[in-house]
Amino acid sequence: MKIAILGTGFIVREGALPALREVPGVEIPAIFARPHSRAVAEALAAQYAIGKVYTDYEALLADSEVEFVYVGLTNSVHYEYAKKALLAGKHVIMEKPFASRAAEVRELATLAIERHLYVFEAVTLLHMPNFAAMRKLLPELGRIRAVTANYSQYSSRYDRYLKGEVLPVFDPEYSGGALYDINIYNLNFIIGLFGAPKAASYAANIGFNGIDTSGTLLLKYPDFTAIALGAKDSDSPCFITVQGEKGYLRVLGAPNELAAFEVCLRGSRTTTRYELNRYPHRMVHEFQEFAEIYEAKDYERMEAGLHVSVAVLETAERARLAAGIAFGCDREIAGNT
């Protein structure tokens, strides 16, 4: 599995590159950066023994040594770079969120399936042993009656935002905001376990430029309601609880780490704690799973992941638009109609 890295930002430097180093059988033949970031890319190439540095994306896509591209770029360009890769016959690993609009996710999924290419979304929690264990244990809770999720983390960029400096994570032109950056993990957790909700709404705290700095999703299912709070403007202990008629499950800590969870069944005096993840770095499991699926040619498993990606973006987009949060891509679409 030969993966070219697109981008030089935090998720690449502290996430993908250190994690990929721990996955056997994965090679990184190239890294891509925009011209102004070439020096950073060259430093990363030297650190991780990456043979080629590209600032021309078309040239990278023409490189026969590259099988996959990992899209670690700004949210707003995920679709553009992934589509070019698929049209060039390359497989794609997409950093979350998959894209800005649900139609983009559906188009990319269709394109991949038509060409029998692999497309994975790198949402850490969905690929962790702890999450797989939760799926198996869920029936023991009985009929689910409530889900509550809180992922709140004061952003290191929020102080600058308050002073009027808008970085991509708080910029609607770059498909930023709390829903797509942090609450998307809660949404993946809930939809990964229960499928798409029947209805969704979003009550958001909107900043001076129209972006959500925090907000609460309300997701309606036939038997229960799920509440998902995500904040980049304030801190709180992070947790998820799944309450059933026969017991509850509680995630201890942030959902992107999913480091531990506990289960308590009604009538029991004991709570069972689970810590099944095998690696300290939260991104290793996902890359390991992608490599296993690719090696086994398990296309159905890949398609199952795409169904979750589509459901998550459809839900997020519907809730975002209902809350009046417009991205740059929304205005572009409106202008072309």
User: What is 234-293 written as a DSSP string?
Assistant: S----EEEEEETTEEEEEES-TTT--EEEEEETT-S--EEE-----SSTTHHHHHHHHHH
CA atoms of 174 and 167, how far apart (whole Å) = 9
Prediction pTM value: 0.95
Q: Is the pLDDT of residue 55 over 90?
A: yes
Task: Using the 3D structure, point to which of 85, 104, 122 is the last residue of a domain.
Answer: 122
Is 290 a domain residue? no
CA-based nearest residue to 134, from 248, 301, 300, 253: 248
Is 254 a domain residue? yes
> Residue 177: which domain range?
126-284+313-332
Q: What is the pLDDT of residues 278-320, one digit of tens each?
A: 999 999 999 999 999 999 999 999 999 999 999 999 999 999 9
268 pLDDT tier (thresholds 50, 70, 90): confident
How far separated are the first and last CA of the chain, in Å rounded?
41
269 pLDDT tier (thresholds 50, 70, 90): confident
Count of structural domains, the chain? 2
Answer whether 147's CB lies under 8 Å from 224's CB. Answer: yes
- Whether residues 169 and 267 fall in one domain: yes
* Mean of all residue pLDDT scores within the chain: 96
CATH number at residue 142: 3.30.360.10
Task: Using the 3D structure, point to which of 74, 92, 122 is the last residue of a domain.
Answer: 122
CA dihedral 211, 77, 125, 68 (to 10 degrees): 180
What's residue 335's pLDDT? Answer: 57
Is 94 a domain residue? yes
Please state, for a pLDDT cut of 70, what percent of the chain lies above it: 98
- Whether residues 100 and 155 fall in one domain: no
